[in-house]
Amino acid sequence: MKDFILKYLFRLNPNTPGQHLLKSFYLIFPQATNIEWSKEKDGQFEVIFRVNGIEQIAWFEKSGKWLKTETNYKIDMLSCSIREKLEKFGQIMSSIFIEKVNSSSGYEFIIRDSFQVRHIFITDSEGNVTQRRNFDESELL
């Protein structure tokens, strides 16, 4: 009911980012294009956008505090040393670089082995595997 009152009586939409959040976003990602915002169930905001043609997804608190960014890396964007470490496990299908507030960066890879089974590999920023599990397509839903 509160959202209805805000949206229709006062012409405010509680599901759109406020000025503090927008200012924070543009300070961090000044070259962002194709920007799409959504509000998550936990009250955080997710924004999908592109920088230099590369898709990124970032999460912010309503206050404008940046929480996390995921960048969809093309395979040729990875350093040779990281590719060499991971290609030992199979074919790299996708790679995402993950940066979090107050945390070290790392990657998430989907790798298909010689039996055509896909696995998720979590690595540190140098490509050292810290976690591995089978890929579950239901995670995409």
Span 44-92, pLDDT tens digits: 999 999 999 999 999 999 999 999 999 999 999 999 999 999 999 999 9
Percent of the chain whose pLDDT exceeds 70:
87
Mean pLDDT in residue range 9-19: 68
Q: Which CATH number is associated with domain 1-71? A: 3.10.450.360
DSSP letters spanning 75-104? GGGS-HHHHHHHHTSSEEEEEEEEEETTS-
Span 108-127, pLDDT tens digits: 999 999 999 999 999 999 99
Architecture of the structural domain at 74-141 = Roll (3.10)
